[in-house]
Amino acid sequence: MITEKLKIAYERLSRDDEQQGESNSIKNQKMLLENYAQKEGYSDITHLTDDGWSGTRWDRPAIIKLIEEVERGNVEVLLVKDMSRLGRDHLRVGLLLEQFRERGVRFVSVNENIDTFKGEDDFMPFRNIINEWAAKETSRKIRAVNKTRTENGKHVTGAIIYGYLHDPNDRQKWILDEEAAPVVQRIYRSVIEGKGVEKIAAELSADSIMIPSAHWQKVGAGMRLHTNANPYKWSASAVIQILKKEEYKGWTILNKTVKETYKSKRKPNSPENILVFKDTKPQIIDEETWNVVQRLRETRRRPQKVGGSPNPLTGVLYCADCGEKMYNKLGKADKHHKPHDEYVCSSYRHYSRSCTYHYIRTEVIENIILTAIRRISGYVKTNEENFIERVRESSLLQQENAVKESRKKLSKSKRRRDELGVLIKKLYEAYAAEKIPEKHFTDLLAGYDTEQITLDNEITELQTAIDNYNTDSVRADKFIEIVKRHTEFMEFSAVLLNEFIEKVIVHEAVKVDGVRTQNIEIFFSFIGKFDVPLTQDEIAEIDKPIKRTSRKKLRSEMTEEQRERERKRDKERYAKKVADKRAEKQAVRAEILKGTSFENTDRIAS
């Protein structure tokens, strides 16, 4: 139990105070307050210090502890260098002084010669206002300086992300951290291999790789590790944060957070106000890999079994009719001892959407994709120049169609936006003339405003898409790089899928001549949809007679071009068969008519 009340000396120093000279340092504040306490006969001074904290913040550890002790009635005297040390918000400081008065705390501001024991100073409220004004003015100046620096692509803080270090000769420049950068590359590569963030974190921990804070402490980057933290225990959240950083593409990203006023807390900035400077630092992850990882991270995948890996096809397969993603449906083994493992449209039997089944077995679609990758890779390796030329021609045609459609939508949206402007003007005139009641005016205006905002966003997106079509070049060379990176295509894997394939469109199956046929559209990374020309051997194989017993199996493995050839040949065979039967029937009829009357002819013909 406390028998003697505390005599507290409170010190505070912010980064702004450091720029004003040594007089505001914690060391000088303590010396000043101790000299005053000794002069007044105070002993056993307790120091409470907030070092590096702004006076506009009230979550300072020492000020919180001070207020708690005051509320308990444990404080006799509080000494500060000046009132601005308490804070720079005149309302909060005023309430705090009133709390001191109610609790019988003697408050002393040494430099301002304020001592509430000797009577309150009439100028105290004005000093608080001046202190707050000084904080506001300082904040305004700092924001102006920081705005200029960020617009020039310069960092305004010393913060740095895992994988980089400050250049010893220029802290504005980032250099590769030779130890951490490979870990970042490993994390991104693991996602492309189909691993989840929890599994990645577990593998990093098992390999005794230091977590970012422990690594920074090791290299002396200023980061402190929590006392009880395991330096090798990675968390899923740490992996996720690394996967979000655009800086790994070699970009400088500034203005990611913003403060509305000097009193408010930082919050994420709007995307249009974030500043991006490309190719300003060493690249750890290439842009294509980064984009693939973000696409994979957007799709939730459930593991096929406890502790297993999720199916990599989830998020790649799309329904051709409704455009929704297809989901993996697993079930118990059937009579052939094979467990159900297929993909179906996620809109099928959905309470708010409707679509058909679009059923396809996982094994089948994996074989189709692997076959497509093998065929296009073989074509690229043997016909690289022809491949580049065909991709360019196909891309130009696709872009022309897309641009026409986007321009049509853009024109329609702009017309509607102009109509809304006229309607809003007439609405104001009608309201001003008291032709419509205020409630109707408010409701209509809110509806128009909402539609106008939606149209503005749509116009911006369409214009951006058109600009991208106009500036985007065919990236066949990027696809060729992927092909050259792989030498074998023995089996289907998440790596092959995620590097080669952008998306797969699955059509509903139909029956053609009693055979279940399903059209599958495959869009490759960088080049989109590409049909590999048939080789002479493949054409010769198609033209061979197909045994009825094996036709169903063969058709399930055919490409759409092969199926079209097969359908055409079947039609020709059927037409010939009908003609032969008709000729045979006519010959039989002619033989019968030789010895028959005219009336019988009608009977027979009928």
pLDDT in tens, 154-191: 877 778 889 999 888 888 889 999 999 999 999 999 99
Domain for residue 215, yes or no?
yes
How many whole angstroms separate alpha carbon 557 and alpha carbon 560? 10
Average confidence (pLDDT) over 487-495: 84
- 30 and 167 part of one domain: no
CATH code for position 163: 3.90.1750.20
- 134 and 165 part of one domain: no
Residue with tokens 């997106």: 461
Asked if residue 588 has pLDDT above 80, the reply is no
- 69 and 137 part of one domain: yes
Q: From its phi and psi, is residue 222 left (phi > 0), alpha (psi between -120 and 50) or beta? A: left
Is the separation of the CB atoms in 183 and 204 below 8 Å?
yes
Domain for residue 306, yes or no?
no
Average confidence (pLDDT) over 238-262: 85
CA nearest 525: which of 251, 296, 196, 327?
A: 296
pLDDT recorded at residue 266? 72
Domain-ending residue, one of 509, 531, 553: 531
Domain-ending residue, one of 483, 498, 531: 531
- 586 and 449 part of one domain: no
- 205 and 267 part of one domain: yes
Read off the pLDDT band of 473 (50, 70, 90): very low
pLDDT in tens, 419-456: 888 888 888 888 888 888 888 888 888 888 888 888 88
- 385 and 264 part of one domain: no
Token duo for residue 205: 């921990």
- 501 by DSSP, 3-state: which? strand
Tally Cβ neighbours within 10 Å of residue 230.
11
- 163 and 44 part of one domain: no
- 328 and 272 part of one domain: no
Domain for residue 194, yes or no?
yes
CA 68 distance to own-chain centroid: 43
Domain for residue 370, yes or no?
yes
- 362 and 510 part of one domain: yes
Q: From its phi and psi, is residue 548 left (phi > 0), alpha (psi between -120 and 50) or beta? A: alpha
Domain-ending residue, one of 493, 509, 531: 531
Domain for residue 585, yes or no?
yes
Domain that holds residue 595: 534-606
Distances (CA, A) of 37 to 33, 331, 335, 568: 6, 79, 91, 104
pLDDT in tens, 29-58: 898 898 888 888 888 889 999 988 888 888
pLDDT in tens, 553-568: 555 556 666 777 777 8
- 553 and 462 part of one domain: no
- 124 and 175 part of one domain: no
CATH code for position 104: 3.40.50.1390
CA nearest 221: which of 178, 175, 180, 166?
A: 166
Could you give the number of structural domains in the chain? Answer: 4
CA 492 distance to own-chain centroid: 27
- 374 and 463 part of one domain: yes
Domain for residue 309, yes or no?
no
Domain for residue 599, yes or no?
yes
